[in-house]
Amino acid sequence: MEEQKLKKINQLKNKHTDDLIDHYWGSINYVSGLIKASEIKAGLILSFYGILLNFSYNYLEMVLTEASNKPFLYFLLAAWFLCTATSIYFSVRCFMPKIEAKYEKNIFFFGDVITKFGNVKEFAKTFHKISSDEDQLFDQLGQQIYIISKIAAYKFSCVNKALRFLAIGLLLLLVIMGSYMIVSI
């Protein structure tokens, strides 16, 4: 009877550990998905700029000819260019690798796997040892969640800045087009 209770307690503990592992890996996958989403958004912003700049280039000569008499249009064009360049800068920054290296070595970080755990056999032994110890395993997983969350927050910050400058640039472009139409009448 006592043996059955102990067996049941161990099954519950193992079930809880399995649930925790799934929870940690689910969190890692969720945050990794956020990183991918931020990069997709940055790519869409850059694609939009490709279309917009191509379209703008076709009409640039006409607007510059008209702006030669109107310094206000030059100012608006310069402001639009700065907003566009800033937005593109933040979009590109989102794609730049952001590696956080000032933390303890982690068996789940690809950079540490190659540089901080020795050769392949030493890493395999360390990986097994840490994976066999629940406390160490959850500590390593938790650290990895924190680090990739920090990376995701940075990338979304870049996307948000890119979108803000895109919106300001579009507003300026509308003002430029309106001013051009009013001046050319």
pLDDT at 162: 97
Total domain count, the chain: 1
Place of tokens 């690809």: 110
Question: Residues 185, 65: contact at Cβ < 8 Å?
Answer: no
Question: Residues 66, 184: contact at Cβ < 8 Å?
Answer: yes
Domain of residue 91: give its range.
2-184
Q: Which residues contact 30 (CB under 8 A, 6 or more apart)?
A: none
Question: Residues 75, 172: contact at Cβ < 8 Å?
Answer: no
Contacts 24+ apart (CB under 8 A), 24-31: 24/138, 24/141, 24/142, 24/145, 25/141, 27/145, 28/108, 28/141, 28/144, 28/145, 28/148, 31/145, 31/148, 31/149, 31/152
Question: For every one of its 185 residues, what pLDDT tens digit does the chain have, with 9 covering 90 and above?
Answer: 566 665 555 554 555 677 888 889 999 999 999 999 999 999 999 999 999 888 877 777 776 676 667 778 788 888 999 999 999 999 999 998 877 668 889 998 888 899 899 999 999 999 999 988 888 999 999 999 999 999 999 999 999 999 999 999 999 989 888 876 776 66
**pTM score of the predicted model:** 0.79
